[in-house]
Structure 1
Amino acid sequence: MATFRKLTIQFETSAQLPPPYSYRYVLRILPTEQTINVDLKLTYTHRDELDADEIEAEGFTDNDDYQWKGTLEKVWSDELEKVLKKTQMGGSMLQDEELDFLTLEWETDTTKKGQPKNTEDWLYFAQELLQAIYETSEKERPFEMQVIDATSQGTREAQLTASFRTRTAQVKRVVDGKTSLRFYPWQELPSLMETVYAPNWLTDNASSQKPKRNGLYFNLGDGVWYEWGKQVVEPGKGAKTLSKLKDVVTTLFG
């Protein structure tokens, strides 16, 4: 039984994120007996400050606003209830220009409106929820990462697939010609993705051809292969992201 009649999430990126990347959205959620219905309206902001050429140069179009109504998998109803049970409203509606801004309007027997005290939980949960909507509506595909580790002793491959639509992840491995499949713990996915995106990925020097030489290679689902240490590099002096990325590879083959 749902603990709410209606939930509205309003979100806006911080003032530090410039156009054409900045956006805001309103997400309305209605519970049903088994799952949740969602209504998303997402709008990119401050684009009137840019020319069309500037927007396209960043990989966007002249209209990237997005709307979708539909139903998400039951697992999202369950996860939403878990977050709501540990949520207390702070009441503040003040916006810090350096932070993303999220407010809730939570309707039960009464209506609570404001910022949740567990804001960080909601910021991450809302981002996952948005990704689940994109996958359910087929706007985006599940997250995929392929790894090839080729040495003089042989080649091994791993492919991680993570579906936000179903909140499940799995790893397919091919080692010495033998294929195996196992589930990847969903709760470990945030740390993995943070590690994966911490280095710089140099797309201009990457290859569309599957690698044949020895080395450690990555494909993030875009059909392009990046070699560790060459097209995957440290983001700055003193950074130690590449060693952590290698640790990720160890967990996938472990």
Structure 2
Amino acid sequence: MHLKTDDLLRLEIDFDSGSIPPPFSHRFKLKLNFEKNFLNTAVDMEYTHREELTEEEILNEGFTLDDDYHWVGELHNAWVAPIKKLYIKSKWSNKKIDEEEGGIRILAKDIHGKIARTVPLNQEDWKIESQEIIQAIFETSKREAPLTVNFLHITSDSSLEIALTMKFSIRKAFALINGLEKELNWEKTKELLTNVYLPDYDYDIAKENKPTKRGTYIDCGDGFWHEFGKGIYNIDASYDAVYKIKEGFLNL
């Protein structure tokens, strides 16, 4: 059953990663209550089956020994419209989620007390939206700072320096271009960032200091500078992500 979007009072997004092995296996529940000027939000995230691993095995994968996360608070109302838009366009199934595959289930409640428990057929859309909401929660709760990707293009007579920042907490993207701030289109900037994380970056030749020689460079947010043409490689030969990254930044 699909409830009327204008009547939506609450959504619960329940995710389980299925048969993915630890320490990656996890589940989370997002509770979203639509208030007048904000999104009343709660998240419970739990990593599962870690008792099967040693502490060293968990740490070696880049995790900590306490990655579970719980938070209750207010999210910016910029998230209300995209969540409702996704709900409107979704198709639903009454079938249960396969325990091996995992996935997302949705509980919706409206102002009249009607409740609908369903599984969205567009699972990937809901997974992406959920991860973005969780990132907004991390920023709002100060667990993580907004992501900033730095780009540097140096020629013989000029330089272009761009700091691109995604603020999931307010669902806005900004670029600081040679010191001047510019607001960017959110969806197009997400596409650019998706490309940024597609190539293989050679950290053996990456530099920690900001480059000063002629060339084009990118710092993906971790403080290491990679040079285009020397340490960034497309993984998929049919898709030139490296070119799209460079052109995307040069055209901001």
Would you say same fold, with TM above 0.5?
A: yes
For 1:190-217, what per-residue CA distance to the aligned partner results, in whole angstroms no more than 9, with x for missing partners? 3112211110123343222111112211
Residue 33 (structure 2) pairs with residue 62 (structure 1): no
* 1:41 match: 44
* 1:126 match: 130
Aligned AA for 1:3? D
TM-score with structure 1 setting the length: 0.87
1:103 Cα deviation after fit: 0.6
For 1:147-173, what per-residue CA distance to the aligned partner results, in whole angstroms no more than 9, with x for missing partners? 011122322111111101111111111
Alignment of 1:54-133 (within 5 A): 54-95=57-98, 97-98=100-101, 101-108=103-110, 109-133=113-137
> Could you say if the C-alpha distance between residues 204 and 57 of structure 1 is closer, same or farther in structure 2, counting changes exceeding 3 Å?
farther
1:86 Cα deviation after fit: 3.0
Aligned partners of 2:109 and 2:116 also within 8 Å: yes
Residue 233 (structure 2) pairs with residue 229 (structure 1): no
Aligned partners of 1:89 and 1:112 also within 8 Å: no
Aligned AA for 2:156? S
* 1:214 match: 214
CA–CA distance in structure 1, aligned partners of residues 245 and 59 of structure 2: 31
TM-score with structure 2 setting the length: 0.88
- Secondary structure of 1:213's counterpart equals coil
CA–CA distance in structure 2, aligned partners of residues 128 and 209 of structure 1: 31
Among 153, 169, 187, the residue aligned to 1:165: 169
CA–CA distance in structure 2, aligned partners of residues 90 and 209 of structure 1: 52
For 1:223-244, what per-residue CA distance to the aligned partner results, in whole angstroms no more than 9, with x for missing partners? 2212223332233666633222
Indicate the percent of aligned positions where both proteins have the same amino acid.
31
For 1:172-203, what per-residue CA distance to the aligned partner results, in whole angstroms no more than 9, with x for missing partners? 112xxxx4332110121331122111101233
Aligned partners of 2:103 and 2:123 also within 8 Å: no
CA–CA distance in structure 1, aligned partners of residues 162 and 26 of structure 2: 35
Among 26, 29, 49, the residue aligned to 1:23: 26
- Secondary structure of 1:139's counterpart equals coil
CA–CA distance in structure 2, aligned partners of residues 245 and 14 of structure 1: 33
- Secondary structure of 1:193's counterpart equals helix
CA–CA distance in structure 2, aligned partners of residues 112 and 213 of structure 1: 59
For 1:36-64, what per-residue CA distance to the aligned partner results, in whole angstroms no more than 9, with x for missing partners? 21111101123223221121112211111
* 1:138 match: 142
CA–CA distance in structure 2, aligned partners of residues 157 and 128 of structure 1: 27
Aligned partners of 2:196 and 2:220 also within 8 Å: no
Aligned AA for 1:150? I
- Secondary structure of 1:41's counterpart equals strand
CA–CA distance in structure 2, aligned partners of residues 14 and 75 of structure 1: 31
For 1:49-92, what per-residue CA distance to the aligned partner results, in whole angstroms no more than 9, with x for missing partners? 32211211122111111111100011112322322333443212
Aligned AA for 2:68? D
* 1:250 match: 250
Aligned partners of 1:19 and 1:46 also within 8 Å: yes
CA–CA distance in structure 1, aligned partners of residues 143 and 223 of structure 2: 18
Structure 2 segments unaligned to the other structure (5+ residues):
none
CA–CA distance in structure 1, aligned partners of residues 67 and 234 of structure 2: 31
Aligned AA for 2:162? A
1:96 Cα deviation after fit: 6.9
Structure 1 segments unaligned to the other structure (5+ residues):
none
> Could you say if the C-alpha distance between residues 244 and 84 of structure 1 is closer, same or farther in structure 2, counting changes exceeding 3 Å?
same
CA–CA distance in structure 1, aligned partners of residues 90 and 151 of structure 2: 39
* 2:181 match: 181
Aligned AA for 1:214? R
